[in-house]
Amino acid sequence: MTAHAAETPWVGSKGDGGPALRVRGLRSGYGESDVLHGVSLSVEPRTIYAILGKNGMGKTTLLKTIMGFLLPRSGRVELLGYDVTRWPTYRLVRHGVSYVPQEKSIFQDLSVGDNLRLALPKSSDFHSRFEAVAARFPVLKERFQQRAGTLSGGEQKMLLIARALLARPRLLLVDEISEGLQPLMVWRLREILAEERGRTGLTIVLVEQNVDFALALADHYAVLKLGTIVEAGRVSDAGTREAVEQHLVI
């Protein structure tokens, strides 16, 4: 298996018919230092794509560049058929993209309910959408009035996922959601993401270090190493785990 994702020609038109996400030759970084060195990948609609790698390899930088938090130095980003290379983040969100960051980006002093309401521009949409999400996260309904900062680590991760899903995105970017969680909670989050993809046709890009979690959930994968994709393929391909793990050893 090789990093063949960069070899596919650029395709995609507005609306349906092209990749949900396409990245071509992306360079990005901080200050004068490049972190990403020409990253290219293609994610088909209604699939789950795992981006694996050790700490410091550029995984979070890739998601932040896709989401517009960092401007690329060169290359191109296409989301859902549109060239969005320099779109501001709010336009990406309106275009159907939700982002679950690695850091806990909840408002600690607000209630669970108020954190969730922030996902929607119109309060009139909240009740119907919350009922659908609460079916997957009943603990959030039970603790609707509770201050979000008093939730457990796993419950805060659930709040982040629920808030992202309230927007009914077409593309969900998730950064290290399993980090620091108990195995039962990791299993539950895996189940929720898989069910959501099956129910709505959601496309998910999943940045992870947890190989078991990622490979159990994803259809395709890529390994990011020092800002470059060094391995990519289908999770179902023979030898996938060995191919991934050889890049993750110390």
Q: Does residue 250 lie within any of the structural domains?
A: no
Average pLDDT (76-91) is 92
Task: Indicate if 174 and 238 belong to the same structural domain.
Answer: yes
Q: Does residue 101 lie within any of the structural domains?
A: no
Q: How far apart are CA 47 and CA 59, in angstroms?
A: 19
Evaluate if pTM is beyond 0.95: no
Higher-confidence position of 16 and 237: 237
Q: Flag whether pLDDT at 113 surpasses 90.
A: yes
Task: Indicate if 10 and 112 belong to the same structural domain.
Answer: no
Q: Does residue 102 lie within any of the structural domains?
A: no
**What CATH code is carried by the domain that includes residue 187?**
3.40.50.300
The parent domain of residue 136 ranges over 107-167
* CA of residue 34 relative to chain centroid, distance: 22
Q: Flag whether pLDDT at 154 surpasses 90.
A: no
Task: Indicate if 53 and 175 belong to the same structural domain.
Answer: yes
Average pLDDT (81-106) is 89
The confidence band for 8, taking pLDDT boundaries of 50, 70 and 90, is very low
pLDDT at 250: 60
Instruction: Say if residues 191 and 35 touch (Cβ distance below 8 Å).
Output: no
Q: How far apart are CA 202 and CA 194, in angstroms?
A: 9
Average pLDDT (42-54) is 96
The confidence band for 5, taking pLDDT boundaries of 50, 70 and 90, is very low
Q: Are strands 48-52 and 203-208 parallel, antiparallel or unpaired?
A: parallel
pLDDT at 13: 39
Percent of the chain with pLDDT over 70: 92
Rg (alpha carbons) of the chain, rounded to whole number: 18
Which one-letter DSSP state was computed for residue 152? -
pLDDT at 4: 37
Q: Flag whether pLDDT at 47 surpasses 50.
A: yes
The string of pLDDT tens digits covering residues 196-212 is 999 999 999 999 999 99
Token pair in block for residue 106: 């909840």
- Phi then psi for 206, rounded to 5 degrees? -120, 110
pLDDT at 175: 94
Mean pLDDT, the chain, integer: 88
pLDDT at 87: 94
Q: Which of 117, 147, 167 is the last residue of a domain?
A: 167
Q: In what order do the strands lie in the sheet with 21-30?
A: 33-43, 21-30, 74-79, 82-83
Average pLDDT (186-201) is 92
The confidence band for 3, taking pLDDT boundaries of 50, 70 and 90, is very low
The string of pLDDT tens digits covering residues 94-104 is 889 999 987 76
Which of 225-250 are b and which e, b meaning 16 or more Cβ less than 10 Å from the residue's Cβ?
bebbbbbbbebeeeebeebbeeeeee
Task: Indicate if 81 and 176 belong to the same structural domain.
Answer: yes
- Phi then psi for 204, rounded to 5 degrees? -130, 130
Higher-confidence position of 15 and 195: 195
Task: Indicate if 138 and 196 belong to the same structural domain.
Answer: no
Instruction: Say if residues 29 and 61 touch (Cβ distance below 8 Å).
Output: yes
Average pLDDT (40-48) is 96
Task: Indicate if 87 and 12 belong to the same structural domain.
Answer: yes
